[in-house]
A and B are shown apart, each in its own frame.
Chain A
Amino acid sequence: MENFFNLPLTFELLGYGFVQQMLIAGAVLGVVAGLLGPLVVTRKMAFAVHGTSELAFTGGAAALLVGVGVGYGALVGSVVAALLLGLLSRRDSDRDSVIGAILAFGLGLGVLFLYLYKGRSANKFGLLTGQIVSVGSTDLWLLIGSSVAVLAVLAFIYRPLLFSSVDAAVATARGVPVRALSVVFAILVGIATALAVQIVGALLVLSLMITPAAAAGRVTASPVKASVLAVVFAEVAVLFGILLSLAPGVPVSAFVTALSFLIYLVCRAFGGSRSRVVA
C-alpha cells in the first residue's frame, strides 16, 4: 500500500493503452448507469439489477470456458436474464421470488463453468469482483456501440417510461404500452449491467446502477436534475475509482464502491428535498 499516492507511477500507468481503455469504458458506463439508475430506483428494480448481473457473470463464465470474449458472454447472459425477468414476473408480488430462484441457479451454473475453465485464475475472480484486465479493443467497441444503442432507445421511450414507472394505472388509461415498455427497459438494464460487470464485477454492479441514483434522489425531486446528478456521481465514482486503484494495484471495484457510497452518505446527510419545504 506504500504506492497509494504515488503520482509518478499513476501517470506512468496512464500511458498504457489498457488503462486508457478502461477509463474510456468507465466514462461511457458512468453515463449509461447514471441515466438508467433513477428509473431503476423508481421502478424498485434494485434486486432485479442484482439478479441480472449474476446472470451476466454466468454468461461471462460460459464465454471464458468456450473461449469467446467475456463481454459477449456477459451481454448474452444478462439480456436472457432481463427477458426472463420481464416475461415471468408480470405481477409485482412474485417478482422478488422469481428473481431469487433464477439468480441462485445462474450463479451456481457460473461457478461450474469457472471450475471447468483451465485458464488464468485472475479472469475468474475478475468476473465477480471487477477489473478484467483484458478489456480488449474489440470489447471496448462492443461497449461503446451497445451504450449508444441503449441511450438512443432510452431517449425515445423516456417520457412514457417515466410515466408508467410512476403511475402505471393512469399511463395505461392514457394508452401507454406499459407492459411492452417494462420488457424493453429490462433489456436496456440487462445490456448496461453486462457492461458494468466488466468494470466493477457482477457482485458490485449496484454501486454504479443504484447508489448514484439513490444519492441523487436524496437531494432533488426533479427527475431531470436527478438524472444529471446521477451521471455526475457515477462518473466521479468510476473515473476516480480507476485512477486511485492504479498505483496501489488494488481492484478497481474497491474504490468505485467506496466513492459511490461516500457520495450517497453525503447526499443523505445534506439532502433537503426529502422533507417538505412548504407545510
Chain B
Amino acid sequence: MTAQVTDTSVRAAVALRGARLSYGDRVLWDGLDLDVAPGEFVAVLGPNGSGKTSLMRVLLGLQPLSGGTVHVAGGNRRIGYIPQQRALDPALTLRGRDLVGFGLDGHGWGVGWRGRGQRRARVDQALAAVGATRYADEPVGLLSGGEQQRLRVAQALVGDPEVLLCDEPLLSLDLAHQRVVSDLIDRRRREAGTAVLFVTHEINPVLPLVDRVLYLVDGRFRIGTPAEVMTSATLSELYRTNVEVVRVRDQIHVVGAQHVCEDEPHHVADED
C-alpha cells in the first residue's frame, strides 16, 4: 500500500508537493512530499508544536501553505473530520441524529427543508453503520463518551468522504471504545477506499492498521512504514538525541525523547 511519488499522484486521495508551512521565521515543515493512496492508513506522529494540527488545517483548507501545493481528491468538502472526544453539554437540545446530520449539510445555508426524506435515509444509514441506531433519538449530551464518539464517526462518514482526517479520535476513550472506533475507521477505508490520515501521539492502538507513518519533529520529518520509521536510529536522528525504540510484544515504546509523549489535547479550531 505504499504510494509512489510519481505518476500515481493524479489518483492519490491526498497529494502534497514541496509543501512548506512557516509562521514568520519559524518553519514547521518544508519540502514535504506526501501521497496518500485511496484506502491507505497514514499515522501522523510527533511532539506538540511539530505542525500535526497545522497539517490538518492545511488539508481542511483553513490554513494556506507558505509554499508548495496541496491537492485533496474531491476538494475540502469530501473530507470527513473526526475530532477528539469532548464531552457535550448534558443539557444540549440535540439528538444523536442531529449531530450526524451536521456532517451531511451542517455547513449549508438555508433551513434545508428540501430533500429531507433523502437526508433522513442517509443519516439512518450512517447511524446503523456505527451501531448507534438504538440511541439516535436520545439527547446527545446524556450519552457516554464512547457513544458520542461513535456518533462523531457517523458524522464524518455520512458525507461519503474520500479522505478521513482523524484528530486524536481515541483520546480519553477507554480501551474497549478505542477498539470500536478504530475498527469503524478501518472498515470504512477497506470497504470504501477512503484514505485515512490519523493524527495521534500514541501509535499502539492503531499499529495493526497503519500502512505508513509521517513523523514530524522540529521541522524534520520522515515518511515510511512503521518498521522503517519507528526505529532507534531514525527517531534518534529526528529528535537529535539518543532515543531508544523498544518493541514489547506487538507494541512500540519510545524511550528517551523529550515531549514524545504529549498529553496536551489540541484541536484545529484552537490555533489561530
Please give the residue numbers on chain A whose beta carbons come within 8 Å of chain B beta carbons, in ascending order. 38, 41-42, 155-160, 162-163, 166-176, 178, 216-217, 220-223, 226, 273-278
Residues in chain A near residue B93, CB distance under 8 A: 38, 41-42, 216-217, 220-223, 226
Which residues of B53-94 are within 8 A (CB) of A?
A: 56, 60-62, 76-77, 81, 83, 86, 88, 91-94
Q: Which residues of A contact B91 (CB under 8 A)?
A: 217, 274
Q: How far is the CB of B231 from chain A (nearest CB, A)?
A: 33
User: CA of A156 to CA of B110 in the docked complex: distance in angstroms?
Assistant: 4
Contact A273:B139 (CB < 8 A) given known A173-B269, A216-B93, A223-B94: yes
24 chain-A/chain-B pairs, Cβ below 8 angstroms: A156-B109, A157-B109, A158-B111, A159-B106, A159-B107, A162-B102, A162-B106, A163-B106, A169-B83, A169-B86, A169-B268, A170-B102, A170-B155, A171-B106, A173-B165, A175-B62, A175-B107, A176-B106, A216-B93, A217-B91, A221-B94, A226-B93, A276-B143, A278-B138
Counted as pairs of residues, one from A and one from B, with CB atoms less than 8 Å apart, the total is 110
Interchain CB contact under 8 A, B61 and A159: no
Given contacts A158-B110, A176-B107, 9 further A-B contacts (CB under 8 A): A160-B108, A167-B99, A170-B81, A171-B102, A173-B62, A175-B62, A221-B92, A221-B139, A276-B139
Whether a CB of chain A sits under 8 angstroms from the CB of B199 is no
User: Is A171 a contact of B267 with CB atoms below 8 Å?
Assistant: no
A166 and B99 in contact (CB under 8 A), knowing A156-B109, A159-B112, A217-B93? yes
> Shortest CB–CB separation between residue A159 and chain B, in angstroms?
6
B86-128, CB under 8 A of A: which get 1 and which 0? 1010011111001100110111111110000000000000000
Known: A155-B110, A169-B267, A176-B107. A278 touches B60 (CB 8 A): no
Task: Provide the residues of chain B in CB contact with A172, threshold 8 Å.
Answer: 62, 268-269
Q: Check if B207 is an interface residue, CB within 8 A of chain A.
A: no
- Nearest chain-B residue to A168 (Cβ)? B269
Tell which of B56, B102, B134, B152 has the most Cβ of chain A within 10 Å. Answer: B102
Nearest chain B CB to A33's CB is how many angstroms away? 16
Which among A163, A166, A277 is the interface contact of B92 at CB below 8 angstroms? A166
Inter-chain contacts of B155 with A (CB < 8 A): 170
Complex CA–CA separation, A150 to B94 (angstroms): 23
Q: Specify which chain B residues have a CB less than 8 angstroms from the CB of A277 in the assembled complex.
A: 138
**B101 vs chain A, min Cβ distance (A):** 9
Closest 10 CB pairs of A and B: A163-B106, A221-B139, A169-B269, A172-B269, A173-B81, A217-B93, A226-B93, A163-B102, A174-B107, A221-B95
> Please, how many angstroms separate the alpha-carbon atoms of A273 and B135 in the complex?
13
**A175-B139 Cα distance, complex, nearest whole Å:** 26
Complex CA–CA separation, A240 to B270 (angstroms): 47
Measured between alpha carbons, how far is A216 from B94 in the docked complex, in Å?
12
Q: Hey, which chain A residues are within 8 Å of B98, CB to CB? A: 222-223
Are B83 and A160 within 8 A (Cβ)?
no
Q: Which of A156, A159, A173, A178 contacts B83 (CB under 8 A)?
A: A173
Instruction: List the B side residues contacting A162 at CB < 8 Å.
Output: 102, 106
In the complex, A168→B107 CA distance in Å?
12
Chain B residue contacts of A175, Cβ below 8 A: 60-62, 76-77, 107
In whole angstroms, what is the CA distance A53 to B272 when docked?
A: 32
Q: What's the minimum C-beta distance from A228 to chain B, rounded to whole angstroms?
A: 12
Contact of A170 among B83, B138, B142 (CB under 8 A): B83
